[in-house]
């Protein structure tokens, strides 16, 4: 998945310099410089994305696909240009296989609602114990509608998937296997290529939740051979309300529309309607045009980064933060210590609620996430109600780690005296 791109001289790897591209990181919070460590929830946007959004709103605001006037043509070109950028970024074979949605959640719901119509009573959907609620609830709803059964592969004490158990749970009844590329709650990186191959060998169709992977790993959907891959703009330095569903063309062609309305049709009469070609069959109504123009700019920005250097930089911060939380914060315990991890650090501190930790470190200008992270079954698996989560992006630095540790020490002093 990662390429030998470190040898390409034009790719950017000076992350200290790139930090200046993000205006939000230059501000003071509670009178202190912001250390933004909540990237797994939403990453910040660079100036190039903000400028693209502003220009679209200022000069080109118009609907797409339906007008012959200049503003509509500009909007359509920018909107469809973003689709081509996404196609290249994930190496999808065709533009027809890149469906624009509101985010990972809608992408998964689309597959569950449309492809899921072929499931019957007794069929099975296999997921894992690592999943975000968005990769649990849509399948529960599908099982309720069809009489299918939801099967969950367990995770180990270190937060890694029990791959052997996953393989044993695959069978003739498994119609869909759906799993995260990277866990949002623990940072665990799943061996997705191997899982996809196992699922295909059992005859299952595979959906990968890539929301936490696309900002940190080079993703090649053809190399993975996944059937569906879902991700969100706001986690990859783009606008909120934007997302992508990649789907293999043959599957998308055979699936019924997800929603009805404008742009997803060719003809409408009171007797019957005919549907538009891919990907528009799944894009009913006026889309988030400005958002997707911004997403295109975010893809441009990401495409210019050296992902090998990016991964090494983020991993160095994860390693330092993990070591120092355990060594310097009394009563701290890490939740999720899988050998393969992205830049997500979840932890608890004995006697101090995660929300209190978050409040205290915020007073020091440090932004982390606290709670169950839309992964309540993960919290139950580890016997905790919530964790504090620091999540890193390429624009973070070791001073951010220093600030995090200082804020946690202050919390311990306040609550323990």
Determine the average pLDDT of the residues in 43-54. 98
| 365 shares a domain with 332 | yes
Dihedral sign, CA of 208, 210, 212, 216?
A: positive
Listed residues 303, 326, 347: the one ending a domain? 303
Check residue 7 and give its pLDDT: 46
Check residue 343 and give its pLDDT: 97
**381-399 residue pLDDT tens:** 999 999 999 999 999 999 9
Check residue 260 and give its pLDDT: 94
**186-197 residue pLDDT tens:** 999 999 999 999
| 310 shares a domain with 294 | no
**211-243 residue pLDDT tens:** 999 999 999 999 999 999 999 999 999 999 999
Listed residues 303, 318, 333: the one ending a domain? 303
Check residue 9 and give its pLDDT: 54
The answer to pTM > 0.85 is yes
| 219 shares a domain with 88 | yes
Active site residue 226: no
Check residue 232 and give its pLDDT: 98
Q: Of 11, 18, 374, 384, which one is the catalytic site residue?
A: 374
The tokens describing 235, both together, are: 């986690």
Neighbours of 57 (CB within 10 A): 12
- Give the Cα separation of 61 and 48 in Å (integer): 18
Q: How many domains does the chain have?
A: 2
Rounded mean pLDDT of the chain? 96
Domain that holds residue 361: 5-45+305-416
| 184 shares a domain with 174 | yes
Q: Which of 150, 147, 142, 153 is nearest to 122 (CA)?
A: 147
- Give the Cα separation of 412 and 389 in Å (integer): 17
Listed residues 303, 319, 349: the one ending a domain? 303
CATH number at residue 123: 3.40.640.10
| 319 shares a domain with 251 | no
Contact call for residues 103 and 235 (beta carbons, < 8 A): no
């Amino acid at each position: 998945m990662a390429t030998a791109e470190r040898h390409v001289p034009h790719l950017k790897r000076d992350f200290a310099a790139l930090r200046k591209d993000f205006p939000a990181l230059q501000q003071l919070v509670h009178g202190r410089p912001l250390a933004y460590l909540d990237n797994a929830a939403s990453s910040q946007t660079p100036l190039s994305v903000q400028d693209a959004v502003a220009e679209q709103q200022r000069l080109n605001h118009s609907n797409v696909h339906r007008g012959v006037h200049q503003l509509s043509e500009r909007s359509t070109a920018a909107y469809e240009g973003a689709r081509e950028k996404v196609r290249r970024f994930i190496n999808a074979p065709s533009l027809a296989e890149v469906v624009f949605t509101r985010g990972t959640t809608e992408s998964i719901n689309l597959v569950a609602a449309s492809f899921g119509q072929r499931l019957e009573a007794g069929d099975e959907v296999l997921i894992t114990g690592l999943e975000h609620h968005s990769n649990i609830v849509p399948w529960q709803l599908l099982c309720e509608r069809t009489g299918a059964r939801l099967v969950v592969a367990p995770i180990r004490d270190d937060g890694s998937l029990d791959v052997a158990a996953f393989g044993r749970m695959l069978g003739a009844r498994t119609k869909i296997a759906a799993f995260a590329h990277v866990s949002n709650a623990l940072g665990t990186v799943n061996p997705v290529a191997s899982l996809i191959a196992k699922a295909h060998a059992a005859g299952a169709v595979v959906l990968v939740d890539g929301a936490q992977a696309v900002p940190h790993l080079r993703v090649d959907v053809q190399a993975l051979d996944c059937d569906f891959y879902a991700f969100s703009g706001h986690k990859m330095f783009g606008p909120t309300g934007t997302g992508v569903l990649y789907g293999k063309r043959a599957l998308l062609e055979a699936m019924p529309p997800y929603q009805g309305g404008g742009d997803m049709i060719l003809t409408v009469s009171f007797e019957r309607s005919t549907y538009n070609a891919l990907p528009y069959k799944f894009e009913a109504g006026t889309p988030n045009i400005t958002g997707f123009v911004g997403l295109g700019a975010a893809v441009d920005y990401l495409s210019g980064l050296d992902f090998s250097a990016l991964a090494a930089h983020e991993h160095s911060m994860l390693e330092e933060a993990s070591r120092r939380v355990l060594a310097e914060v009394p009563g701290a315990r890490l939740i999720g210590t899988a050998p393969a991890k992205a830049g997500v650090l979840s932890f608890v501190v004995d006697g101090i609620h995660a929300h209190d930790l978050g409040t205290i470190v915020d007073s020091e200008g440090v932004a982390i996430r606290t709670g169950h992270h839309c992964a309540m079954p993960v919290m139950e698996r580890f016997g905790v109600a919530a964790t504090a989560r620091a999540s890193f992006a390429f624009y973070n630095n070791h001073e951010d780690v220093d600030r995090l540790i200082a804020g946690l020490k202050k919390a311990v002093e306040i609550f323990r005296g």
